Amino acid sequence: MNKKHSPATVSALLVGSTLASIYAIQALLSRDSSGYDLIQFLTGFAAAAAVVLGYWYWLYRHKISLSFKIVFFWACVFRLIGVWGEPILEDDFYRYLLDACLFLTYGSPYGITPESLFVDNSLSPACEAMLSGVNNPHLATIYAPVLQFVFAASYLVSPVNLDVLQLLIVLFDMAVIGMLGRLAPARMVLLYAWCPLVIKEFAFTAHPDVIGVCLLLAAFMARKSGYRLSGAVLMGLACCTKILAVVALPFFLFRQPARYWLVIIATIAAMYLPFLLKQPKTDLATLVVFATDWLFNAPVFSLLKVMLTDSIARFTSVGVFLLWYSFYFVRYDKTRQPTDIPRMDWIFGVLFVLSPVLNAWYWVWVLPFAVLWPSLWAWTASVALVLSYVIGLHLPDSNLDDYQVSQLAQTTQLLSIGCALVIDYRYRRFRMTGVD
């Protein structure tokens, strides 16, 4: 049979076209001025997830190989459709665009609360328009320096233009796919590259977490390839993108000379210095508020909170995570080489399960590593966590508070991920070692 008409090529064309149609419908609905409701989103998301996971399973069962070029091509198509669409059930993008305005107007967005700008500011009319859309306007920004530079870069290309910011974020997302293509078969990369959650959260909605994931994965790959100095710089940048990356530091610095510690510290200092020179404020103050007060879509933590006070439940969650983290690190220390990539899917997964806050887009920190170590629990979670959008804000006739997740939605998430964990355990998919 001619290669151009192989089962893999034909099936990829059919599946890719189907997914592109689903995302195009979602994009059209998101641009509809009459509004985009939760049912429309969940229906489209479920259809896309069923197509992707069903297609992957068909490829796996029939041992059909797929070209990485095909996977990458369709990944680009899906993301461009998402960029053309509008953010779905999210308003965080107002803060990103406003941060860019504050950075370029005042020299730093830190320490400036949006509510303080309603009375007197030096912002342009386009920037002022962002103020009414920002959530938690009583808090200054929580976004770290690397993200601030990306937000500012989008502004310099085109002021207060979400499409530009979406495109920048998509470039980091595509870089993740490119790196995964060097580490895993294209059939496995498809799980991330065509993942509906990834496309929704980054192409459509412009959440910037994928920037940190990209830098973290690049740091491990650089170290693995012998470029330890470049890897250290990338790791420092990852930590300056989102504080979550800090949990990877002990593994990255595992058996590394002290000079690489200094490079990471110097990189972090260099990222924060321009802001500190302008005014002695950073994202730390809002991070503290986030860590001590916020609660969202946390079924495990909520169970702890029923038995304990809120503060004790938070300390307990941290303690349990650190115990598990220490256990895994000891195992890693005994069995692996300094260049091995650790099981960051497990590290981030356990952290998120115990966390008081679990937004759907956080799961992207797990998914690239779930390509390297495929598991039912990780990809089940990538579907189940979309139920975190079943909140009072999107259910106007319910008795839920605006950001209160439906109890049924939380229970469904917990049970589905729990069942997937049991199945993974049954089939002994819990390898504690890293990729060498």
The string of pLDDT tens digits covering residues 190-221 is 999 999 999 999 999 999 999 999 999 999 99
Q: To which H or E segment does residue 36 belong? A: none
Task: Note whether residue 317 is domain-resident.
Answer: yes
pLDDT at 35: 67
Work out the widest C-alpha separation in the chain, in whole angstroms.
71
| CA-closest candidate to residue 148, choices 231, 242, 219 | 242
Contacts of 21 (CB under 8 A, 6+ apart): none
pLDDT at 204: 96
Rounded (10°) CA dihedral 82, 88, 91, 94: 20
pLDDT at 29: 92
What the block records as the tokens of 100 is 């860019």
pLDDT at 106: 93
- Structural domain including 316 reads 294-436
Task: Note whether residue 356 is domain-resident.
Answer: yes
Residues listed for the chain? 436
pLDDT at 188: 95
Rounded (10°) CA dihedral 17, 21, 22, 23: 100
Q: Are 415 and 381 in contact (CB under 8 A)?
A: no
Task: Note whether residue 372 is domain-resident.
Answer: yes
CA distances from 106 to 100, 123, 275 (A): 10, 9, 10
pLDDT at 335: 66
pLDDT at 336: 65
In a 3-state reduction of DSSP, which class is residue 220? Answer: helix
CA distances from 187 to 6, 55, 58, 215 (A): 15, 10, 10, 23
Q: Are 142 and 286 in contact (CB under 8 A)?
A: yes
Task: Note whether residue 331 is domain-resident.
Answer: yes
Task: Note whether residue 378 is domain-resident.
Answer: yes
Task: Note whether residue 384 is domain-resident.
Answer: yes
The number of folded domains in the chain is 1
pLDDT at 337: 64
Contacts of 205 (CB under 8 A, 6+ apart): 87, 88, 90, 92, 93, 361
Three-point CA angle 421, 423, 427, nearest 5°: 115
Amino acid making up residue 163: D
Task: Note whether residue 430 is domain-resident.
Answer: yes
In a 3-state reduction of DSSP, which class is residue 435? Answer: strand
Rounded CA gap, 167 and 218, in Å? Answer: 20
Tell me the pLDDT of the chain averaged across its residues. Answer: 91
Rounded CA gap, 79 and 174, in Å? Answer: 9
State the residue for tokens 């089940």: 380
Report the predicted TM-score, pTM, of the whole model to 2 decimal places.
0.94
Output phi, psi for 341, to 5 deg: -85, 125
Task: Note whether residue 46 is domain-resident.
Answer: no
Spell out the per-residue pLDDT of the chain, length 436, in tens: 454 567 788 899 999 999 999 999 999 999 886 667 899 999 999 999 999 999 999 999 989 889 999 999 999 999 999 999 999 999 999 999 999 999 999 999 999 999 999 887 889 999 999 999 999 999 999 999 999 999 999 999 999 999 999 999 999 999 999 999 999 999 999 999 999 999 999 999 999 999 999 999 999 999 988 899 999 999 999 999 999 999 999 999 888 888 999 999 999 999 999 999 988 899 999 999 988 889 999 988 988 988 888 899 999 999 999 999 999 998 887 766 656 889 999 999 999 999 999 999 999 999 999 999 999 999 999 999 999 999 998 988 888 998 999 999 999 999 999 999 999 988 766 555 545 4
CA distances from 225 to 83, 238, 386, 430 (A): 33, 18, 36, 26
State the residue for tokens 């912002």: 123
pLDDT at 436: 44
pLDDT at 164: 97
Q: Are 41 and 89 in contact (CB under 8 A)?
A: yes
Q: Give pairs for 101-108: CB < 8 Å, separation 24+.
A: 101/126, 101/127, 101/130, 101/155, 101/159, 101/160, 102/141, 103/148, 103/151, 103/152, 103/155, 104/152, 104/155, 104/156, 106/278, 107/278, 107/279, 108/274, 108/275, 108/278, 108/279, 108/281
